[in-house]
Chains A and B, each alone.
With several copies, the nearest count.
Chain A
Amino acid sequence: MNFDDTPQEAAFRSEARAWIDANAPRELEAQLSRPSVGRVKLDGIDIITASKAWQKTKAAGGWACLHWPKEYGGRGASPIERVIWQQEEGVYDKLSGVFLIGQGMCGPTMMAYASEEQKRRYLPPLASGEEIWCQLFSEPSAGSDVAGLRTRAEKQGDEWVINGQKIWTSGAHYSDYGIVITRTDPTVPKHKGLTMFFLSMKTPGVEVRPIKQANGGQEFNEVYFTDVRIPDAQRLGAVNDGWNVSLTTLMNERLSIGARVWTGFSEIFAFCSDFMTENGPALDDRAVRSRLANWAVRHSGLKYTSYRSISALSRGERPGPENSIGKLVSGSMMQDIAAFALDLQGAAGALTDPELAEAAGQFQSMLLQSPSGRIAGGTDEILRNIVAERVLGLPGDIRVDKDMPFNQVPTRGRKS
């Protein structure tokens, strides 16, 4: 049991470190090091522009999409090398956020289902950040139940005509391409009538509208499809086999293990060390200490759980769905931490202006952001189901609609 690199890993790490030292945009380091909730904001430069510049530099140096084959713009690196890279990249990793979905989910799907010609056309610019991709899966009536989606694609000659609405599409407003899952046969059970495509976001009939979030932010979009026509060549996988294709996409999501764990613990510990109550630092208060200790062990537990996953990767094993616990634990923990930080601040805790609020208002932002941590990317309830079913082997929920033709599945509740 040790934290040491193998000789190969050490060699890779020092090569990566040297390259980063020589090439990283040092002028952004201070800004990127600030704690941030949700999307990162930079002063004086647009985050997309900054991200594309760094990604291009990495691609030129052979450090983009490390685990992809070289012919598609990657480096052919091992999973553990990817983790080492992430550790070395440090705060500059915040400049990868806008590429996450494209490179983490769309890319692998293209890799598995697109033609060789398409792969050579689309993957390298995806890897180098020249083109950004998004994923068009969720719909207003299909959230946790993604397979309940209603966006239709109808075959007309050699083309497909898509109509419907997607939602929660992260980055749709700055994306060049997207993969979209559609219903192509509503007369069969819901998982069986789906088909996957990719398309340019500039295709006529595609309209992107930002969603204003509960915290006032705008990170997601609605995307409307009105008679959008795309050639059959942009189909990914067989007709009506879209559910299986989407599983490829979603599986890949799980492979990206974060070497960093963000729970808000470091922030609340620092705050309680600094914040003066009438009786001295908050950290002297036994009630505060008890809360902090409980968060400390959860934070630490997640951190070392990820280390165990990295070790498994390092041995060449595939990390399992055990990793679902990260978000499950940190989601409600952040909500509790934020509420607790405000509690200590008393009435002044309600103030949100970063100039006036304690700790530059970070806990106020966290409070308003945190409900999404328990929802986006799988609700707590779905994650508990995943742990129960895939890790513990408990039975799935009873699926009343499993064998029902999709167009007979009820769409409204209350005795309908």
Chain B
Amino acid sequence: MNFDFSEQQKQLRDEARRYLAEHSSPKAVRAVLDGAAPFDRALWKGLGGMGFLGVAVPEEFGGAGAGHLELCVIAEEMGRALAPVPFSSSIYLATEAIMLAGDDDQKRRLLPGLASGQTIGTLALFERPGNPSPRAIAATVAGGVLSGTKVPVADGAIADLAVVAARSGSGGRDTDISLYIVDLAGKGVTRKTLANLDPTREQAEIVFQDCPAELLGPAGEGWSILTRVLDRAAVLMAFEQVGGADRALEMGRDYALDRIAFGRPIGSFQAVKHMLADMYVSATLARSNAYYGAWALSTDAAELPEAAATARISATQAFQHCAKNNIQVHGGMGFTWEFDCHLYYRRANALALSLGSLSYWEDQLIDRLRSRNAA
């Protein structure tokens, strides 16, 4: 058994960490936070140049042709560095959807741009408050043109193309839903950036009015493809969350060692020690579950649905827990704008909601465990 990443994969992780330490420094993150730009374009280009964006894309489509395990280690570092770029939207969602459901022409046309970072993609799924559900999709495609409103769309205002879930029929059935590729620079697209919990990641409303839409995957199978895309994204996002949780834990640990109160490091008080120990526990469980997800993703195992839900829940809990209690360890300083604690807190809570929230994945997990047990 080798339930760990290979030496090469670990080297890739180290490389990504070094690169991001330099190019996604707290200062760079804060430039986006403070509104200088909706994302760090230079960093995005750099990541493309390093080959990090297309690491899981086959060479024939312009990627590095490595695999999903490689993408997992990069995702972890993205989370750790709070990289202010549309990595999850473009790579976990748009690229994965096209790799999964695109025909050869679509892959040839679209993947090279996504893999290099030339093109930014996203997934336009949500239309109203609540979790992913076919019943919540009202956008329609008729005669090859899409109309409807999607909100929120992560990185929606900076993306070049969107994979859009829409109804291809009017029967109101789950099988009326298909996926489409839409050029966001095309006519009929109106976009608006919306204020959100984590200003280092963009969120938008997109109104589509009679926009040309290109079918992605078989008509009527949109929801089942989407489910598989979300599962894959859940594993990748889990690594991003684990990276964030780890960094928040480290920050808390470091502060507890440095900060003196009552004549001794606050990390010598059991209240603080045990808070950090509990953070370590949740971060460790989340990491192990993410590894399970990575194994299932990389081997396309039958366990992927349950592994993805497990990884997602565990990572969401860990990042929220570590980010929240990192502030607590820092005390008043942790609640200043100046300290970086709130960046992790914002990111943790924002990531917890993307792809569907905890209660959604809890429900999914039980359904999946039940059907496996029944099988």
Contact = CB atoms under 8 A, between A and B. Distances in A.
Interface of A: 1-5, 9, 138, 140-141, 143-145, 148, 167-168, 211-216, 269, 273, 275, 277-278, 283, 286-287, 289-290, 292-294, 296-298, 300-305, 307-308, 310-312, 314-315, 322, 325, 328-329, 335, 339, 342-353, 356, 358, 364, 367-368, 371-372, 374-376, 379-381, 383-385, 387-389, 391-402, 404, 409-414
A310 B281 CA distance: 18
Given A293-B365, A397-B262, A413-B265, A143 B331 contact: yes
Interface in B253-294: 253, 256-265, 267-274, 276-278, 280-281, 284-286, 288-289, 291-292, 294
Nearest to B274: A384
A387 B298 CA distance: 32
A303 B1 CA distance: 14
Given A214-B335, A392-B277, A293 B286 contact: no
A409 B373 CA distance: 57
Contacts of A335: 324
A334 to B, nearest CB: 12
Interface stretch (B16-24, B75-83, B107-115, B309-317): B309-317
Contacts of B286: 301
Given A1-B3, A293-B365, A399-B262, A394 B267 contact: yes
B196 A350 contact: yes
Interface string B64-89: 00000100000000000000000000
B224 interface: no
Interface in B307-359: 309-310, 313-314, 317, 320, 324, 327-328, 331-339, 341-342, 345-346, 349-350, 352-359
A273 B374 CA distance: 10
A372 B268 CA distance: 23
A138 B353 contact: no
A305 B334 contact: no
A346 B357 contact: yes
B267 A293 contact: no
A301 B284 contact: yes
Contacts of A368: 197, 342, 346
Contacts of B100: none
Given A348-B129, A374-B328, A413 B259 contact: yes
B126 A294 contact: no
A322 B284 contact: yes
Given A300-B314, A325-B284, A388 B274 contact: yes
B373 A273 contact: yes
Interface of B: 1-6, 69, 125-126, 128-133, 135-136, 151-152, 154, 194-198, 203, 253, 256-265, 267-274, 276-278, 280-281, 284-286, 288-289, 291-292, 294-295, 298-299, 309-310, 313-314, 317, 320, 324, 327-328, 331-339, 341-342, 345-346, 349-350, 352-363, 365-366, 369-370, 373
22 contacts: A1-B3, A213-B336, A214-B336, A214-B337, A277-B130, A290-B362, A298-B285, A300-B289, A325-B281, A347-B154, A350-B203, A350-B354, A352-B196, A368-B346, A375-B327, A379-B328, A381-B274, A385-B277, A388-B276, A395-B264, A395-B268, A412-B258
A413 B262 CA distance: 12
A138 B331 CA distance: 12
Nearest 7 pairs of A and B residues by beta carbon: A401-B263, A301-B285, A214-B342, A413-B265, A293-B362, A304-B288, A212-B337
A410 B264 CA distance: 7
A287 B2 contact: no
Contact of A311 (B3, B262, B309): B3
Given A289-B366, A298-B285, 18 more contacts: A1-B6, A1-B69, A1-B295, A3-B3, A211-B338, A215-B342, A305-B288, A343-B359, A346-B131, A347-B152, A350-B196, A353-B195, A374-B328, A375-B334, A376-B335, A384-B278, A397-B269, A410-B263
A308 B291 contact: yes
A9 B360 CA distance: 41
Given A346-B130, A351-B203, A401 B264 contact: yes
Given A1-B2, A289-B362, A413 B257 contact: yes
A240 B169 CA distance: 82
Nearest to A358: B129
Given A2-B1, A364-B197, A273 B370 contact: yes
A136 B348 CA distance: 34
Contacts of A387: 277, 280-281
Nearest to A395: B268
A308 B342 CA distance: 32
B72 to A, nearest CB: 9
Contacts of B129: 275, 344-346, 348-349, 358
Nearest to A217: B337
Nearest to A387: B277
Contacts of B3: 1-3, 304, 307-308, 310-311
A301 B327 CA distance: 25
Contacts of B195: 351-353
Contacts of B328: 371, 374-375, 379-380
Contacts of A348: 126, 128-130, 151-152, 353
A365 B253 CA distance: 28
A316 B264 CA distance: 39
A325 B271 CA distance: 17
Nearest to A310: B1
A43 B135 CA distance: 40
B198 A350 contact: yes
Given A283-B370, A388-B274, A300 B354 contact: no
A283 B289 CA distance: 23
A410 B266 CA distance: 12
A296 B365 contact: yes
B313 to A, nearest CB: 5
A353 B314 CA distance: 29
Given A375-B334, A384-B278, A414-B258, A400 B263 contact: yes
A6 B119 CA distance: 42
- Best-buried of B136, B264, B341, B359 by chain A (most CB within 10 Å): B359
B273 A388 contact: yes
- Best-buried of A293, A368, A399 by chain B (most CB within 10 Å): A293
